[in-house]
Amino acid sequence: MSYFSYKDVYVEDGKKVLEVNILPEKYCNFDCIFCPIGRSQNKIDTQMSFDKTDSSLIELESMIKNTKAELIFINSKGEALVNSKIGKIIDLIKSKGLIVRLLSNGYLLGRDEYREIANKCDEVVGEINVITEKDFQKAQRPIEGYTLEEYISNMISFNKQYKGKFIFDVHIIRGYNDNEESIHEIKNIIKKISPDKIIVSRMDDEIFKKKLGITDERFEEISNALLNI
Ligand code: SF4
């Protein structure tokens, strides 16, 4: 029995992409109020070993073979870096000559042991959702002692030494980072992180859309402002 789960393969820039979740349930160092996975009892930032990883790896291998995927996107139910076998998972994908993209919320990229793992990947996605310390604590409910300043500096230091493609996902949330002052601040953060690619996203989940979503017009304005720095 495997605990990995998959999304249907899709094509991006001409490449077949297979998204895989490598956590049996939500394990994250944050517990965001807008998390699509829901609330978590498992707020951790140290690695955990899960049962049935060997059978999960065999399944991944056959999924790769059957789907003929060219890019494997590790997009998990939380922070994928906390799976103690993540290095092995990345190595398996790389041994097939495929591209590996890893989604992380970005906080752990500042720690040596996690940085080393992320460095194996061809692409790493980090993200930002709020731009004040108060909102970070209130909306993202991180592990005690985490700060927004450290969050951003972790991504800056990671990308300074990273040789792959760093993708920065700016998630716009109504009332948290959608005003002009916030956009100005996000631009400064982007300049400091210096990502290879920027993605601007917004609340898509129906349950959060009404309260935290922004209009199409505002989304277009913000996207234009952030994608043309
Ligand atoms: S960082 Fe992502 S996975 Fe973790 S709690 Fe926040 S929204 Fe959920």
Per-residue buried b or exposed e for 185-210, using 16+ beta carbons within 10 Å of the residue's own CB: ebeebbeebebeebebebbeeeebee
Atom of ligand 1 nearest to the CA of 34: 7
Q: Is 49 helix (H, G, I), strand (E, B) or coil?
A: coil
For 159-179, what is each residue's pLDDT tens digit?
999 999 999 999 999 999 999
- Indicate if ligand 1 lies below 6 Å from the C-beta of 136: no
Hey, where are the domains in the chain? Answer: 5-227
Q: What's the confidence (pLDDT) of residue 91?
A: 98
Could you read off the pLDDT of 84-142 as tens digits, one per residue?
Answer: 999 999 999 999 999 999 999 999 999 999 999 999 999 999 999 999 999 999 999 99
Alpha carbon distance 119, 216 (integer Å): 36
Nearest atom in ligand 1 to the alpha carbon of residue 28 is 4
Which CATH superfamily does the domain covering 5-227 fall into? Aldolase class I (3.20.20.70)
Cα–Cα dist 183/140, whole Å? 19
Distance 140 CA to ligand 1 centre (A): 8
Q: What is the predicted pLDDT for the residue at 32?
A: 96
pLDDT band at 1 (very low <50, low <70, confident <90, very high): confident
Task: Please state the pTM of the whole predicted model.
Answer: 0.96
Alpha carbon of residue 143 to chain centroid: 17
Mean pLDDT of 197-216: 94
Q: How far is Cα 183 from Cα 203, in angstroms, rounded to an integer? A: 17
Q: Is 35 in the pocket of ligand 1 (CB under 6 A)?
A: yes
33 CB within 6 A, ligand 1: no
Q: Read off the tokens for 85.
A: 């076998």
Higher-confidence residue of 210 and 22: namely 22
Is 196 within 8 Å of 165 (Cβ atoms)?
yes
Write out pLDDT tens, residues 44-75.
Answer: 999 999 999 999 999 999 999 999 999 999 99
